[in-house]
Amino acid sequence: MKEFLTKIMEENIGKIKENEPMSNHTTIKIGGPAEIFIEPSSIENLQKTMEYIHQYQMKWRAIGRGSNLLVSDKGIEGVVIKLGAGLNQLEIKGTEVKVGGGYSLVSLATSISRQGLSGLEFAGGIPGSVGGAVYMNAGAHGSDISRILTQALILFDDGKLEWLTNEEMEFSYRTSVLQKKRPGIVVEAIFQLKKGNREIIIAEIQKNKEYRKVTQPWNYPCAGSIFRNPLPNYAGKLVEESGLKGYSIGNAQISEMHGNFIINAGHATAEDVLALIDFVKKSIDEKFGVKMETEVEIIGRK
């Protein structure tokens, strides 16, 4: 660990911190310390970071804007790589958009709407990064990333970069090959969009943003949707029909606004959230015979 840290600091690859609280980097404001926290300043420095991780056989984890993430109170062993300002490049050529993995998805949807480009309206209000959205095939309002992505540049844990096609990404509901088979970091994404009416596109994005504001508790720290929809059912509806809206364990509470959101009502711990998740799973299984699966990613020390 010390040798790795010494080497990585010599390389001047970006921001490096030890024992950085992950509660500072998750939208639910929960999470113990990352042993080593690195925010590379460029794609080259990200690749260099991964080469050293591979060389020293360090455990690693990449994050973007920290939504859809629940980090253990005991923190994360090894290295956490944050895709931030060094990986937020944007290039628009006609109807093709090439964008860095650290770019805000909401900001991207807003920027391209002003260019009269259609295809990302569904992302209005999704509070994640482009990399995270591709990684988990984020979606809403009947569409998702798989509908518009043509290629993604992935950094694998051996330090090699590789472009994967839409087909090679093996997208399915809220998942991709990066979760199932080949762990990697989304460095860049290429989206194929369509020319449309600028005013209509902007209005659609605004409508989706407003819908989130009035139906989801973004005024509290939260991680986004906790459960995958067990189609044809909807997770939030099942929670509501179970009478669990507002139910709390410790300072973790099921939102009064939306049954598929757990809010941090004040200094909640990951342990509180996990206990609440287990309680919901058991309650819905007993009442409806439906097995609930988490959409939020749970990471860190057990």
Q: State the catalytic residue, choosing from 23, 176, 225, 255.
A: 225
| CATH number of the domain where residue 53 is located | 3.30.43.10
Domain count along the chain:
3
Output the CA–CA distances (angstroms, integers) from residue 61 to 82, 157, 298, in the order listed.
9, 10, 12
212 a catalytic residue: no
Q: Residues 35, 188, 204, 295: which is the catalytic one? A: 295
State whether 73 and 136 are in the same domain.
no
Residues 247, 284 within the same domain: yes
For residues 92 and 206, state if they share a domain: yes
297 given a catalytic annotation = no
CATH of the domain at 169: 3.30.465.10
Of 61, 85, 109, the residue at which a domain comes to its end is 85
Using one digit for the tens of pLDDT, what is the confidence trace for 38-92?
999 999 999 999 999 999 999 999 999 999 999 999 999 999 999 998 999 999 9
Catalytic: which of 174, 188, 204, 212? 174
Q: Is the pTM of this model over 0.85?
A: yes
Q: What is the pLDDT of residues 89-139, one digit of tens each?
A: 999 999 999 999 999 999 999 999 999 999 999 998 888 899 999 999 999
> Is 114 assigned a catalytic role?
no
pLDDT band at 265 (very low <50, low <70, confident <90, very high): very high
The reply to whether 100 and 193 lie within a common domain is yes
Residues 116 and 134 in one domain: yes
Identify which has the larger pLDDT, 180 or 95.
Answer: 95
Strands (DSSP E) found in 41-148: 60-63, 69-71, 76-82, 90-93, 96-100, 117-118, 139-140, 143-144
